[in-house]
């Protein structure tokens, strides 16, 4: 009996102890109620300081680690107590206000400026004991706008959490880049080769952001092989995290590309290797040719890091397939041949792959223009002689000299006439060759309709505008 009582008591004590142990973490994980005072400003505008305070409140709320007391409630209490936030600078005053608000913790801070540097000092203390629980500070050099990111990061640090990578990447002048590895995207409905190509493009674009240090694909393959995984076999988050830990990277990106009918889906996740927590998740739905996914992947690379994609990418997306087509040679057209021949005779024929006639036109045109230019030069020489002879004739008072200069003048006129005829004749011939070249290029040029057999009037769905459009196309 005694033994039974002892056992029952033991079980009761154990049960109570287990209950208490179960309650204890709940108690410790309960969110604290926190009020944030406006930051003191030293050397910066009051309005700017208020803006930073507001951003701090927003970001500390985003952490989800505390219950934030609204600024209006804080102001109301202060007003009732006949205080102003700027006047309540001592810890005693803050603790008193905190008690009235029913807050467990109060946060106050200051932003100062020394030369081109800004300093931010933030303190969280217990209302009950007045004891400082945590402090955080940052020194920042640069434009004041950059302080916003610092303030946001401090909001995470003051509650004892690590700031998201997105914020760290945004930090201007951050030299400590995060290391990142990208797992090959899982292909569903598309070939493995296509999935790998798109993953490669993602890696290339990620490196272009210059915000992360990427792990070589070969290094990752080695690690996977060492762990006995196929490159395509490591698809679970656990596996990815394990590989990430072995690689010693901060972040991992994994994802999948699927195809349903003409619709493609991209699901990508970036998570912290240390915690396994998802940092950012993106999904994209795309309709169109598989080539168009390249632009989507490129944009995804920026967005998953919390960065704005460059304008060039946005433009490429807007242009859609037309942008992709810029790398492929345009089909030769009749218009193209005519335009070329109009500028340089024979060029249209060369463009239309009629080399012999092209060179013939080009050669004869060059010859005729050359002879025309020669004629003009002869004319100019004769004209100079004419001017000199005529002056000498007019100035002559001797009969013989008059006759001599008159003959020289007439000779110059004769040469001018011949040179002018030569120049005119070959100019006309050059013109004839030019005209013939244009007409000939039009006759022998490739017909653009042979290259593009699509009807000029088309009814089609545009995946970019997401509208069905009636389009009319014609070549210039």
Partner 1 sequence: MKKLLIIFAFFFFSCSNDVPNPASEDIFDNPLDEEEVEYDLPALTFYPVEVDVAAGTSFGVDVFALGFENLAGTSIRITFDENRITSASIIPGTIFEDAQNDPIFFSEVNMEDGWINLTASFLGSDSASVSTTGSVAQLTFTAVATGDSKIQFGTECEMVDPDDVLLEINGFGEANITAN
Write down the least CB distance from residue 216 to partner 1, Å.
57
Q: In this complex, which beta carbon is closest to partner 1, that of residue 439 or of residue 457?
A: 439
Among 33, 287, 420, 475, binds partner 1 (CB under 8 A): 420
Q: In this complex, which beta carbon is closest to partner 1, that of residue 271 or of residue 351?
A: 351
Write down the least CB distance from residue 384 to partner 1, Å.
13
- Near partner 1 by CB under 8 A, which window of 103-111, 246-254, 422-430, 455-463? 422-430
Yes or no: say if 185 and 199 are a contact pair by the CB < 8 Å rule. yes
Write down the least CB distance from residue 435 to partner 1, Å.
8
Write down the least CB distance from residue 424 to partner 1, Å.
5
- Near partner 1 by CB under 8 A, which window of 85-93, 124-132, 215-223, 427-435? 427-435
Nearest-5° angle of CA 19, CA 22, CA 25? 145
**CA dist., res. 321 & res. 185, Å (int):** 23
What is the sign of the dihedral through the CA atoms of 417, 423, 428 and 432?
positive
For 434, residues 6+ apart whose C-beta sits below 8 A from its C-beta are 341, 345, 365
Yes or no: say if 268 and 281 are a contact pair by the CB < 8 Å rule. yes
Query: For the window 324-353, what string marks contact with partner 1 as x by the rule CB under 8 A?
Result: ------------------x-----------
The residues in 205-244 that bind partner 1, with binding defined as CB under 8 A, are none
**CA dist., res. 166 & res. 153, Å (int):** 10
- Near partner 1 by CB under 8 A, which window of 187-195, 229-237, 240-248, 423-431? 423-431
Among 290, 413, 436, 444, binds partner 1 (CB under 8 A): 413
Write down the least CB distance from residue 358 to partner 1, Å.
19
Among 289, 406, 446, 463, binds partner 1 (CB under 8 A): 406
**Does the protein bind partner 1 through residue 457 (CB under 8 A)?**
no
**CA dist., res. 309 & res. 386, Å (int):** 72
Nearest-5° angle of CA 62, CA 66, CA 67? 95
Closest CA to 65 of 133, 3, 119: 133
Alpha helical stretches, state H, 305-354: 311-319, 321-325, 334-343, 347-351
Q: In this complex, which beta carbon is closest to partner 1, that of residue 104 or of residue 423?
A: 423
Q: In this complex, which beta carbon is closest to partner 1, that of residue 353 or of residue 380?
A: 380
From the CB of residue 170, how many other CB atoms can be counted at a distance below 10 Å? 19
**CA dist., res. 376 & res. 368, Å (int):** 12
Q: Residue 312: how many CA atoms within 13 Å on its side-chain side? A: 4
Closest CA to 161 of 250, 61, 244, 89: 61
**Does the protein bind partner 1 through residue 423 (CB under 8 A)?**
yes
Pairing outcome for strands 263-272 and 251-260: antiparallel
Among 367, 424, 436, 442, binds partner 1 (CB under 8 A): 424
The residues in 364-403 that bind partner 1, with binding defined as CB under 8 A, are 372, 375-376, 379, 383, 386, 390, 393-394, 396-397, 399, 402
Q: In this complex, which beta carbon is closest to partner 1, that of residue 83 or of residue 390?
A: 390
Write down the least CB distance from residue 323 to partner 1, Å.
31
How many residues are listed for the chain in this entry? 476
Q: What contacts 24+ positions apart, CB below 8 Å, involve 40-49? A: 40/86, 40/89, 40/108, 40/109, 40/110, 40/111, 41/110, 41/111, 41/112, 42/110, 42/111, 42/112, 42/113, 43/112, 43/113, 43/114, 44/111, 44/112, 44/113, 44/118, 44/144, 48/144, 49/111
The residues in 70-99 that bind partner 1, with binding defined as CB under 8 A, are none
Among 434, 440, 441, 445, binds partner 1 (CB under 8 A): 434
Cα distance from N-terminal residue to C-terminal residue, the chain: 106
The residues in 6-35 that bind partner 1, with binding defined as CB under 8 A, are none
Write down the least CB distance from residue 421 to partner 1, Å.
9
- Near partner 1 by CB under 8 A, which window of 17-25, 315-323, 424-432, 458-466? 424-432
Burial label for 473, CB within 10 Å (0-12, 13-18, 19+), is exposed
Write down the least CB distance from residue 180 to partner 1, Å.
57
Among 427, 444, 463, 475, binds partner 1 (CB under 8 A): 427
**Does the protein bind partner 1 through residue 416 (CB under 8 A)?**
yes
**What DSSP state is assigned to residue 292?**
G
Write down the least CB distance from residue 341 to partner 1, Å.
11
- Near partner 1 by CB under 8 A, which window of 212-220, 324-332, 405-413, 443-451? 405-413
- Near partner 1 by CB under 8 A, which window of 19-27, 149-157, 288-296, 430-438? 430-438
For 387, residues 6+ apart whose C-beta sits below 8 A from its C-beta are none
Write down the least CB distance from residue 397 to partner 1, Å.
6
Yes or no: say if 51 and 123 are a contact pair by the CB < 8 Å rule. no
* Binding residues vs partner 1 (CB under 8 A): 342, 372, 375-376, 379, 383, 386, 390, 393-394, 396-397, 399, 402, 406, 409-410, 413, 416-417, 420, 423-424, 427-428, 430-431, 434
């Amino acid at each position: 009996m005694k033994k039974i009582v002892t056992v029952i008591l033991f079980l009761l004590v154990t049960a109570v102890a287990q209950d208490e142990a179960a309650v204890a973490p709940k108690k410790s994980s309960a969110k604290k109620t926190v009020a944030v005072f406006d930051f003191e400003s030293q050397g910066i505008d009051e309005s700017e300081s208020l803006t930073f305070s507001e951003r701090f409140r927003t970001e500390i709320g985003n952490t989800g680690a505390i219950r934030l007391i609204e600024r209006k409630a804080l102001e109301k209490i202060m007003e009732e107590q006949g205080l102003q936030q700027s006047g309540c600078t001592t810890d005693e005053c803050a603790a008193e206000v905190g008690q009235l608000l029913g807050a467990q913790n109060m946060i106050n801070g200051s932003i100062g400026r020394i030369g081109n540097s800004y300093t931010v000092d933030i303190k969280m203390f217990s209302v009950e004991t007045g004891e400082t629980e945590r402090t955080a500070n940052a020194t920042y050099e640069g434009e004041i706008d950059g302080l916003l990111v610092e303030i946001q990061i401090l909001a995470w640090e003051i509650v004892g959490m690590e700031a998201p990578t997105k914020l760290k990447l945004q930090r201007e002048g951050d030299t400590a880049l995060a290391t990142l590895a990208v797992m090959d995207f899982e292909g569903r409905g598309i070939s493995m080769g296509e999935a790998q190509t798109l993953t490669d493009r993602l890696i290339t674009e990620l490196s272009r952001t210059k915000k992360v240090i990427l792990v070589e694909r070969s290094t990752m393959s080695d690690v996977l092989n060492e762990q006995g995984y196929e490159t395509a076999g490591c698809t679970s988050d656990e596996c990815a995290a394990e590989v990430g830990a072995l690689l010693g990277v901060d972040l991992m990106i994994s994802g999948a590309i699927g195809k349903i009918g003409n619709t493609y889906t991209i699901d990508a996740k970036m998570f912290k290797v240390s915690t396994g927590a998802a940092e950012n998740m993106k999904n994209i739905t795309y309709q169109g040719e598989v080539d168009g996914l390249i632009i989507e992947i490129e944009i995804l690379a920026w967005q998953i890091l919390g960065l704005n994609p460059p304008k060039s990418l946005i433009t490429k997306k807007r242009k859609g397939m037309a942008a992709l087509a810029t790398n492929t040679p345009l089909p030769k057209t009749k218009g193209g041949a005519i335009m070329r021949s109009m500028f340089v005779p024979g060029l249209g024929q060369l463009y239309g792959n009629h080399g012999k006639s092209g060179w013939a036109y080009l050669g004869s045109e060059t010859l005729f223009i050359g002879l025309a230019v020669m004629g003009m030069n002869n004319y100019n020489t004769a004209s100079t002689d004419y001017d000199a002879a005529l002056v000498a004739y007019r100035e002559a008072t001797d009969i013989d000299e008059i006759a001599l200069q008159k003959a020289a003048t007439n000779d110059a006129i004769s040469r001018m006439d011949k040179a002018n005829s030569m120049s005119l004749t070959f100019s006309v011939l050059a013109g004839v060759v030019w005209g013939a070249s244009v007409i000939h290029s039009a006759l022998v040029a490739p017909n653009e309709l042979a290259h593009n057999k699509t009807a000029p009037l088309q009814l089609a769905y545009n995946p970019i505008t997401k509208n069905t459009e009636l389009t009319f196309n014609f070549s210039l």
